[in-house]
Amino acid sequence: MYLVLSLSVSLCVLPVQAQDMTLQQCMRYAVEHNHEVRQAELELDNYKAERTGAIGRFLPSVNASIGTQYNFGRAIDPETNGYTDVSTFYNGYQLSASLPVFDGFSRLHALKAAKAGELMGQSALLQRQSQTALDVLQAYTNVAYYNGLVKMAGEKVQETQLLLKQTRLLEEVGRKSAADVAQVESQQAEADYELIRQQNLYASALLELKKTMSYPMSDSLHLDFTPNMKDSHSQCVGNFDPTWVCSMDNEQHPELQVARYRMQTSKHEWHQARASLFPSLSLSTGLSTTYYKTLHNDAAQSFNQQLKNNMGEYLGVSLSIPLFNRLQSLSSIRKAKNNYRIACEAYDQKRLELEKLSREAWQDWQGYLKQTAQMEKKVEADSLAYQLTRRQFEEGLSTAIDLHTTSAQLLNSKATLLQCRLMAMVKEQLVRYYKGYAIWTE
């Protein structure tokens, strides 16, 4: 019974562990587990805490205090206000509240700066997630490329093995020489070497992908390359619309949003610094009471009676007018204004940079789509040339060198076609990225 149960559990678990991950799944996994993304989430929480603190500055502050004092030796008697040399016990209670009425709109600008900071934190988190997805995209593309090369190299090994058998049979019947057999053996050794080299490159690229995804290095990672290897050149080749490029809008891009909200934050911090030149007005109120007892004297009033009789209240208004603080306010205002101008320049620079990169990504995407279409035709031609050369080699009309040349040309064309397809996929995702889309959720 135990054996049957353990076998059923293993059958249920194995398919989940061996499930192949697509590009989108790899991106989502990385976004959920990346350490820099988690740091950005904590930084966003700090911005939210600053916003909460800015809201709290509009509320009154309330304080309560309790003091106890034991006097011995010469001291002042609070009942007679004269000196006494007996031991006394003193207990005081105070409750106070204060509320700033006007501070040159400093609190208002601090709240606006905190709100802009929170939005900047959200955009920074989105930017970190997008950058993580792009890193995974690049690493995933390298793995897909080397995976394709490994398959091509494996097919080449099988092909050379079969060709070597055929050449040896032709040698036995006298149609091929020992030199032809040696050349084919050299080609087989070269194919075996290339397979081992591509397998090592694939293993290194897979490790890099695991690191980028924050995936456990000891766990096996199974990938599904099928959804990303479909021909997509028919989507845009021949349908190029120049007006689409002119209307490309990067306003929703997280990097530009971070620069925009940083500019808004600097603007409100500048206005907040200028508020130090205005007078400030605040209200305060409170109540206090005391309890006093001369030790070893039973004639003192009770605790409750003294708390009631000694109760006092106050209400105050405070007006503070800044006159001269050694030019500190002017210096702070100047720095804040310069920081705002720096943020404005950084925003304009980032917008221009993103516009250039988005147009470049669009042009590269269109270029790789067209290159893919042309390379497909070249692969077909090179494949036909290789088949004809191989038939001629079997019939003794061409040499092993000719066969090796056409085979290498076909393999190079296939590798270039694979690279064009993958780069077209990468550039398409970059176009979506510069448009502000969350590419890991699509």
Q: b/e map of 328-356 (b: 16 or more CB within 10 Å)? A: ebeebbeebbebbeebbebbeebbeebbe
Q: What is the pLDDT of residues 313-343, one digit of tens each?
A: 999 999 999 998 889 999 999 999 999 999 9
Question: What pairs with residue 312 in β-bridges?
Answer: 288
Q: What is the pLDDT of residues 176-229, one digit of tens each?
A: 888 888 988 998 999 999 999 999 999 999 999 999 999 999 999 999 887 655
Q: Distance between CA atoms of 207 and 136, rounded to whole angstroms? A: 12
Model pLDDT, residue 105? 93
Model pLDDT, residue 441? 82
Model pLDDT, residue 174? 81
Model pLDDT, residue 249? 65
Specify the pTM. Answer: 0.81
Q: What angle do CA 126, 127, 132 make, to 5 degrees?
A: 100
Mark out the alpha helices in 23-95 (DSSP H runs): 23-33, 35-56
Low-confidence residues of the chain, pLDDT below 50? 1-18, 231-244, 246
Q: At what angle do helices 106-172 and 35-56 cross, to 10 degrees?
A: 170
Q: Distance between CA atoms of 415 and 367, rounded to whole angstroms? A: 17
Model pLDDT, residue 2? 36
- Lookup: tokens for 310: 């000694």
Model pLDDT, residue 395? 80
Model pLDDT, residue 246? 45
